[in-house]
Amino acid sequence: MSEIEIDGRSLTLEQLIEVACNNTKVAPLSEDTKAILRISQSWIQKTIDSDKETIYGINTGFGPLANKRIAPEDAAKLSRNVLLACLVGVGPDLPIEIVRAMMLVRANTLCTGHSGVRPLLVQTLIDMLNGGVTPCIPSKGSLGASGDLAPLSHMAVVLTRDIEDGDGGFSGMAWFNGEKLNGAEAMKRAGIERVKPAAKEGLALCNGTTFMVSAGSIAIHRALSLFENAQLAAALSLEALTGLSAAFHPELQAANRLPGQVETAAKIRDYVKNSQLVDSDPERVQDAYALRCIPQVLGPIKHNIDFIRSNIEPLLNGATDNPLIFKDNPDEKSFVAISGGNFHGEGMAMWLDFLGIAVAEIGNISERRTFRLVTPELSNGLPAMLVKNPGLNTGLMMPQYSAAALVSDNKTLAHPDSVDSIPSSGNQEDHVSMGANSARHTLEIIDNVVNIIAIEMLTASQAIDLRSDGPNRLGDGTTKAYNAIREKVAPVYADRELHLDIKTLASMIQTSEIFSKLTD
């Protein structure tokens, strides 16, 4: 893909993934965008110099310290100080792709011109993305309002420097060329000069929903890919359990008018087309819910993922710091700083909670199919634990244990974070979203479900091998999926370690390697 151009208006989820995950370059700022940035930043500097107006966070302290006026000559130092004060993150570092997404989103939202920053600041973020400097950001410490202060400050401290200190002062840590370095050293090796922040620029860098939006966007991308693999795993299990196709009849789906149900049923029908395993048991009347209700469970999940995307993607271009700068009159050159709450992540928190719940249900119903596959009373003639000579061999008993443990873990992780709030900042910030916790928990749920689906694919493939001539009786799509799995994962003839097989399949799911075989 060619370079991604950011302008504060047109960034898409696909572009974010290209930059964050595939290291696609970001184009230099256009002259038009630079002009927009210079106008609002110039107004801020003139207002500071005149010392006639009191503007929150620009010439005042923060939170309950907003009544403390800052001298004009200290406005720039205030910008650096707020970043240093917010370096309170704890826990393991965020993955590099999430940090890169944060850098891109922050650079893009600053381009709206409402934050009052210089082009230099935005271009430095772009240069860091293109030069491979990735700040180390602890994963915990954000309340989701006033935005993601701690994570963003750990990002911003690498690109900024002290106003007075000759060597630039504290610079955090950053990755460069696979090495974790002092932030200043990483920037030096990349040939990027750290910036002395001007008035408001520190606040513009750290105040906003950027971690929530960025992590949420990556969660959506992963959830969409996972969903496609989940449908494929369900089709493999339908084959392995010689399920009935009647439950996927198009007229039955249309009669319910449930969003997404029709699409999922059509996808399953397409995968098992020409199957000789499906409908091969003439005595069966109907299947258990884990098979029969696949469209009614998975279909709405996809619908909800799409709904959540439709709400989160616009925020890639949203200005979320405080205050924001606007023209006082469209026909004049005067501006006004308006204090508000665009940094509040309640929407993000609820949507990400919902996403986590939806993805957890993908894993929930998947594990039920895995359980049926290894249980002889439920598997329509398959041997116990899907292994020859059961007893001497334990077979695929234990992978189901892992799937069950992950499903249980998800039930805890899916508890809504958005219903919680702990007041902070001297009760000035008396309601917060906890959306950053929602983002972390949802990403963990997705990782869990990737492994649950990997276990279902492992188990279903083994069951197919144990059916008489099973691999040669599969449908058109399931044949391709089965062959892709067997290229990397061998059948289980006797007990052996299976965690590497699960890891291999999980990687194939994450990279869409199995799903991509369907279009080859």
Q: Which are the catalytic amino acids?
A: 56
> How far, in Å, CA of 281 to CA of 449, rounded?
31
Torsion of Cα atoms, 356 then 129 then 40 then 344, to 10°: 20
Estimate the crossing angle of helix 476-488 against helix 499-510, to 10 degrees. Answer: 130
- The H or E element spanning position 380 is none
What tokens were used for 181? 């370095």
Sheet of strand 179-182: strand arrangement: 134-135, 173-176, 179-182
> How far, in Å, CA of 11 to CA of 190, rounded?
26
Estimate the crossing angle of helix 210-240 against helix 346-374, to 10 degrees. Answer: 20
**3 state SS for 248-316:** HCHHHHHHHCCCCHHHHHHHHHHHCCCCCCCCCCCCCCCCCHHHHCHHHHHHHHHHHHHHHHHHHHHHH
> Which residues, including other chains, have CB under 8 Å from residue 326's CB and lie 6 or more apart?
114, 335, 336, 338
Q: Is-contact 51 72, C-beta < 8 A? A: yes
Bridge pairing between strands 138-140 and 179-182: unpaired
> How far, in Å, CA of 347 to CA of 352, rounded?
8
The amino acid at 203: L
Q: Is 127 helix (H, G, I), strand (E, B) or coil?
A: helix
Q: Is 69 helix (H, G, I), strand (E, B) or coil?
A: strand
> Which residues, including other chains, have CB under 8 Å from residue 320's CB and lie 6 or more apart?
109, 147, 207, 208, 209, 210, 342, 343
